Amino acid sequence: QMKKDIEGFQKLFRSLLQRRGPSVEWEKIQKAPEDSIQSYDKIQTQGLLGDVPPLLSKLVVVKLNGGLGTSMGCKGPKSLISVRNENTFLDLTVLQIEHLNRTYGTDVPLVLMNSFNTDEDTKKILQKYRQSRVKIYTFNQSRYPRIDKESLLPIAKGLSVSGDNAEAWYPPGHGDIYASFYNSGLLHTFLQEGKEYVFVSNIDNLGATVDLNILRHLLNPPNGRRCEFLMEVTDKTRADVKGGTLIQYDGKLRLLEIAQVPKAHVDEFKSVTKFKIFNTNNLWISLAAIERLQKENAINMEIILNPKTLDDGRNVIQLETAVGAAIKCFENALGINVPRSRFLPVKTTSDLMLVMSNLYSLNAGSLTMSEKREFRTVPLVKLGSSFTKVQDYLKRLESIPDILELDHLTVSGDVTFGKHVILKGTVIIIANHGDRIDIPPGAVLENKIVSGNLRILDH
């Protein structure tokens, strides 16, 4: 395995050294052709029920499970954080696929792409799903050496990932899935079992459920031409200005990420008018095509240079790739503009507040927006730094506020919420340094700004 990892790293490092100029020339960027990004409504069909089992028999679900919960103040894999009714991201994923398998009498497998950071803890927890109706497989993404920013030499002193050497290694982004999946032998196994497509998504995107309309569109294309790579995109809002977008470049569909955009054009890239859609990272890819391209060594993705500062102050670089960037290597690639509900990522405690609230109901592992919400848009929630860690966030909320009629919430400083608080419209709560605001139980705040000092103490 280590030999394959080093070979993969050398390939990436070599292309870094050979890189000349920017990876995209702005002048050559063209708008993606109309028929290359189709509306989800167009592929939605009635009367799916009869032929669902044959469709599902061709599917493998892969969840990207390499990330830790450190950004939310948690130890261990992010997928083991509780997000709803004591269910973790992983629990919800297993529930969704188990529901599919029970409903249609199928055997859709779940595959987790772990990293060396998450593998051990994930495998321990998998014991609890032994009785569930889902076959769960795991494989590990590669382990690459971090390189010194100045010398470009690896900082590792040896091959171990423990002790002083722990910081010398990193998992190289989710673009590594193609090589790792292929090298694990699982790809070959699934092809032999007659599987045809893999649905890949981030495990922290709670909207990324198996969609039967998309699966049918792939397996029974209206024009008879099979699509090797389908990317789910959705309409950009002001909150998504940094998300990658689909463009036409050298006659192929291509993913354009903000890191590739020349400084002079960043504002243009962020504009909602020119680039109207962004990549959700929900991807449907032909297994046979992955195998073919891997054998031909023909999957080339743009390198992402990710600078990091280690605990000891050393500046290092991580060479990474993104799974969606390979779209240009596949034949007959397609974008589908899906409803926003298929993009529900939980990256922060602000996102966590949304998915834990009465804005959503939970059914068989899937979250759906409440019918009681008049506007189908998601409120904008910005919780300040006192709420960053899940532990602190839970301490500060006696119960999750009712946000059915909320448009925008900003909270800053030392703020706590009592039970059964209702928030409507735009609510801004700011406790300045040294002040504290306790929102009393049962409070209803509608289009209010709360500032100053409000203490509620037990008598």
Distance of CA 369 to the CA centre of its chain: 19
Q: Are 207 and 341 in contact (CB under 8 A)?
A: yes
CA distance 101 to 98: 5
Of the candidates 199, 193, 9, 234, the one whose C-alpha atom is nearest the C-alpha of residue 113 is 199
Of the candidates 81, 160, 70, 155, the one whose C-alpha atom is nearest the C-alpha of residue 122 is 81
Of the candidates 91, 81, 87, the one whose C-alpha atom is nearest the C-alpha of residue 129 is 91
Distance of CA 360 to the CA centre of its chain: 19
Measured CA to CA in angstroms, residue 204 lies from 59, 64, 68, 232 at distances of 20, 9, 11, 16
Any bridge partners for residue 200, and if so which? Answer: 62, 283
Instruction: Find the helix or strand (DSSP H, E) in which 363 lies.
Output: strand 360-363
CA distance 8 to 14: 10
Greatest Cα pair distance in the chain: 73
Is 347 designated active site? yes
CA distance 337 to 342: 10
Record the tokens describing residue 216, joined without a space.
Answer: 């049918």
Strands (DSSP E) found in 209-325: 229-235, 245-249, 252-256, 277-286, 304-309, 315-320
Annotated active-site residue in 58, 149, 276, 347: 347
Measured CA to CA in angstroms, residue 168 lies from 70, 163, 165, 313 at distances of 18, 10, 5, 13
Any bridge partners for residue 320, and if so which? Answer: 304
Distance of CA 368 to the CA centre of its chain: 18
Any bridge partners for residue 450, and if so which? Answer: 429
Of the candidates 277, 303, 292, the one whose C-alpha atom is nearest the C-alpha of residue 330 is 292
Any bridge partners for residue 423, and if so which? Answer: 445
Query: Which class for 156: exposed (0-12), middle (13-18), buried (19 or more C-beta within 10 A)?
Result: middle
CA distance 290 to 128: 32
Residues acting as catalytic residues: 347
